[in-house]
Chains A and B, each alone.
Chain A
Amino acid sequence: MNHPHTSATSSLATADRVARGLGYFSLGLGLLELASPRLVTRSLGMEGAEALVRAAGARELLTGLGALGVNPTPALWGRVAGDALDLATLASGLSPDNPKRDNVKAAMAVVLGTALVDAMAARALSERHVRPRHGYIADYSQCSGFPRPAAAMRGEASDFETPADMRADIGSGPRPAPVPIRLSDTDQ
């Protein structure tokens, strides 16, 4: 089809687009941390913490996939929690004997900035997509579509005959007599 078109409104809001960007960022960072943990630890003067970096990489991949999914909100909140973990881990590299502590400070500033974006996007997505837990529930108990109570409509279309190609009921013996039973919760 591919019509030439001009757009006025879109179902994607800024928060959705930011979430998508963060998802790709997460995937990229996760792959880097999984593939080259020593590169990360060396640049931060935190040699020996490769296992932690790999774990952070796996977490980034998970949250990245989630952020690119249909419902990115939980993944974005997951990223916020991950940012807090990263800050705590990086803080251990601020000791005076770390010659690369300036790099650590820079990394912490980047994580802090990203955390801010993550938190803002997660909050906006929650407001936009998440059904309020204690929100107003509409009462559709009058929306039956029937002219009479549902119980009185049972079998009203009994003039309909199932076409031969759609007969599916298996067994040719007599059907057992039905046990009296309610048609709905409201019937006595």
Chain B
Amino acid sequence: MKALCWHGKNDIRYDTVPDPSIEDARDAIVKVSSCAICGSDLHLYDHFIPGMEHGDVMGHEFMGEVVEVGADTKRLKVGDRVVVPFTIVCGECEQCRRGNFSVCERSNRNKALGDKAFGHATAGLFGYTHLTGGYAGGQAEYVRVPFADTTHVKVPDSLSDEQVLFLGDIFPTGWQAVVQCDIQPTDTVAIWGAGPVGQFCVRSAVLLGARQVVCIDRVPERLSMAAAGGAITIDFDEESVLERLEELTHGKGPEKCIDAVGLEAHATRSLDSMYDRAKQAVMLETDRPHVLREMIYVCRPAGVLSVPGVYGGLVDKLPFGALMNKGLTLRTGQTHVRRWTDDLLRRIEEGQIDPSFVITHTVGLEQGPDMYRVFRDKLDNCIKVVLKP
């Protein structure tokens, strides 16, 4: 079959690889109808996340049709149309039973590696680092889905691929980022990053009733999409983020702050960002935490910081004194996708939101390697790429 494979920094190739097969009785094989490039795929593309190997199949946002099931797979049958969450979940371990699906204790087959890197391993993820199991991803014609009975969302034929595809990652990721802020009707929510996850944070914050939603970026077309979703926008190249947020909150600061940027912040005009880039170049720091620093500084005391943006390793010069003294709550984590999808699917079916608004490019899988470049470099007004195998 054809697939997009990782071959080193900035080197994604459209390869021919062996078809997947059932390896465990709880597996299913899904024929991919649509998949997407996620912002966190770019961290692999830029090689900021360790634990990748040559030939790894990329992609963790995908959906399709079940074409084969293992003997112990009971809730799926051949022909079912499914979206596959990016977090692989057993559904039986203590964490899964508590709804903490992204830290499933059984699905990471490289648990020892994950334990060494993070103290305790997290769930297995599709198309990501070997620290999270090294499972083949969904930017391919076919995918093997482990723990298939619990790692799927059945979707009705009445909805298009484009309407449901993002249930696998970015919609629940934006939703969870806002939910864990515990939005109150009096809240100002400041969201750093108007990429796809930031866009879903904006819409989730509006739906969940935030008084005021502010989105911070510098890419004009992304800011225009954020404004369309109900956000007041701040272009950090044009104005001071701190001053504008103070003005919008009458000098009190936003109660809730969301980092939808992660480890590759691009605040080129700030001194701390230049410092991060220099340290990163000589391998003294892995992540660029400009957004975390800004959020901690600007957030209203007793406020909440939510971090859906991906971090991979070590950060430097984090103002932890401010975080502690201001009594801020910091909530992080990969998304417990399956925890939110039934509710979000209902909201899509009811017409509350149509997630396809974020798609700017739809191309064949063979154009995937070049679309990584286009997406990463923000060329051609690209915000979200959907690939069709």
Interface on A for B, CB 8 Å cutoff? Answer: 1-12, 16, 65-66, 69-70, 128-131, 136-147, 150-151, 153-158, 160, 162-163, 165-171, 175-179, 181-186
Contact = CB atoms under 8 A, between A and B. Distances in A.
B136 A1 contact: yes
Interface residues of B, number: 86
A108 to B, nearest CB: 30
Given A129-B373, A144-B228, A150-B230, A183 B213 contact: yes
Contacts of B312: none
Contacts of A163: 99, 179
Given A150-B228, A163-B179, A3 B5 contact: yes
Given A2-B53, A141-B227, A183 B206 contact: yes
B13 A10 contact: yes
B227 A10 contact: no
Given A10-B12, A65-B282, A168-B331, A3 B228 contact: no
B240 interface: no
B181 A168 contact: yes
B261 to A, nearest CB: 15
A5 B58 CA distance: 14
A185 B360 CA distance: 23
Interface of B: 5, 7, 9-18, 45-46, 53-57, 98-99, 134, 136, 179-186, 199, 203-204, 206-213, 220-222, 224-225, 227-233, 250, 255, 264, 281-282, 302-304, 327, 329, 331, 343, 347, 351-358, 360, 366, 369-370, 372-373, 377-379, 381, 383
A154 B230 contact: yes
A1 B55 contact: yes
Contacts of B378: 131
A8 to B, nearest CB: 5
B224 A139 contact: yes
Q: By CB atoms of chain B within 10 A, which of A154, A156, A181 has the most?
A: A154
B182 A168 contact: yes
A9 to B, nearest CB: 5
Contacts of B231: 184
B351 A154 contact: no
Nearest to A140: B225
Nearest to A156: B207
B207 A175 contact: no
Nearest to B303: A170
A184 B225 CA distance: 12
Contacts of A179: 250
Contact of A184 (B230, B281, B329): B230
Contacts of B9: 70
A5 B7 CA distance: 11
13 contacts: A9-B14, A9-B370, A11-B370, A65-B282, A128-B373, A131-B379, A141-B224, A143-B228, A145-B357, A147-B354, A157-B207, A158-B209, A160-B179
Nearest to B183: A162
B197 to A, nearest CB: 14
Given A145-B353, A163-B179, A153 B230 contact: yes
Contacts of A144: 203, 228-230, 357
B352 A147 contact: yes
Contacts of B56: 1
A37 B210 CA distance: 63
Nearest to A169: B182
Contacts of A175: 184-186
Contacts of B302: 170-171
Nearest to B212: A181
Contact of B377 (A130, A143, A150, A168): A130
B203 A145 contact: yes
Contact of B10 (A6, A8, A16): A16
A66 B182 contact: no
Given A140-B225, A185-B233, A3 B15 contact: yes
A119 to B, nearest CB: 21
Contacts of B15: 3, 5-8
